[in-house]
Amino acid sequence: MAAEPPYLELLESVDSFPHIDISKTPYIEDESSSFYQLLLPNDARCHGYIHPSVVHKLAWTASFQVSHSIPRTVQLLDDSDGKDTAAACSRAFYEVIEKAVDSKIYPFLKTMQWENYRIVGAKYPTVQLLRSAARLFGICSRGAHMTAYVRTNDGIKIWVGRRAAHLFTYPGKLDTTVAGGVRAEESPFECIVHEAAEEASIPADFVRANAKACGAITYVAKSSTAYGDDSSLMTPVILYNYDIELPEHIVPRPQDDEVEDFYLWDLEQVKQAMVNRAFKTNCAAVMMDFFIRHGIITDENEKDYLEILTRLHRKLPVPTSPSEA
């Protein structure tokens, strides 16, 4: 039998940003590391926390008003002349990001996918910006993960994917059966439906009929320098979770070039892979949530059960609903 994975330790490497109240802690260590609040037009709430090194590196346009006095802010102005505020905001982000791409100050802006993320909880929900730039602005990232499992006579088995060796992030690591970033214009469920077809050849109709929304995990990551950052950025993350029970005749098969292979593993094999740190870090957290919902991790067998459970649902430092605006 495999050793029990060090769940809390694995989670700490995902939910890696300090548990401080960043809205009330203007200084992390000293003034030079105080974050800037990202403010959108006609909305007093802070939608992101921008690291000072980023504020200094980006070439802000006249659409943004940067204030260096405490509380430091980057205020996006309303350039719409009373017309389409959301479109004007998206355009303003696009201009700043385009300059950053052209000047090659952040290598990851080039190499990641050209998809857009929305700003979760914004008063104007269609405001969007380049997915790979989200972390620069400290806004929330949205992903969707679906865990496919099979009930067998030997207990539950889980379909685990292996990421392709050529990927920019976490090459060769183990992954949730189906996962992807949720694009600005789609819902988490629509994301899972198309990713299941593209990544794992699971028919869209079957996913629509059988995938079950079962919550989300939330955490705040400190971005690693492996991406070319020269500083610790703060990234709030939401991962929407779906479960799907597969009959034996539906077998996930790699379709695009992102997944190398799929394995149908029993719990011992999955746990051993967690012990070996073979999973992409946030996929290990998604697996923990699955384990908790399916009675595999319990208060009786895991001393840090409650700490893990509450930390998998960390209160994010940015608004998640427009209704508060």
Residues 189-208 binding a second copy (CB under 8 A) are 189
> Per-residue x/- marks for a second copy, 254-293, CB under 8 A?
--------------------------------------xx
Among the listed residues 215, 264, 265, 267, the single contact to a second copy using CB under 8 A? 215
CB closer to a second copy out of 174 and 237: 237
Q: Round to whole Å and give the CA distance between 13 and 3.
A: 19
1 contacts: CB under 8 Å, gap ≥ 6: 268
Determine contact, residues 9/308, Cβ cutoff 8 Å: no
Minimum CB–partner distance for residue 287 and a second copy (Å): 14
CB closer to a second copy out of 189 and 206: 189
The answer to whether residue 153 forms part of the interface with a second copy (CB under 8 A) is: no
The answer to whether residue 145 forms part of the interface with a second copy (CB under 8 A) is: no
CB-CB neighbours of 121 under 10 Å: 20
Q: How far is CA 254 from the centre of its chain?
A: 22
DSSP character at residue 8: H
Number of residues engaging a second copy in binding (CB under 8 A):
38
Among the listed residues 66, 167, 316, 325, the single contact to a second copy using CB under 8 A? 316
Residues 49-78 binding a second copy (CB under 8 A) are none
CB closer to a second copy out of 63 and 241: 241
- 130 φ/ψ angles, rounded to the nearest 5 degrees: -55, 130
Determine contact, residues 129/40, Cβ cutoff 8 Å: no
Minimum CB–partner distance for residue 64 and a second copy (Å): 27
- The pair of structure tokens assigned to 264 is 């149908």
Q: Round to whole Å and give the CA distance between 76 and 66.
A: 9
The answer to whether residue 7 forms part of the interface with a second copy (CB under 8 A) is: no
CB closer to a second copy out of 276 and 298: 298
CB-CB neighbours of 204 under 10 Å: 14
3-state per-residue secondary structure call for 90-115: HHHHHHHHHHHHHCCCCHHHHHCCCC
Residue numbers at the binding site for a second copy (CB under 8 A): 19, 21, 120, 187-189, 212-216, 218, 238, 240, 292-295, 298-300, 303-307, 309-316, 320-323
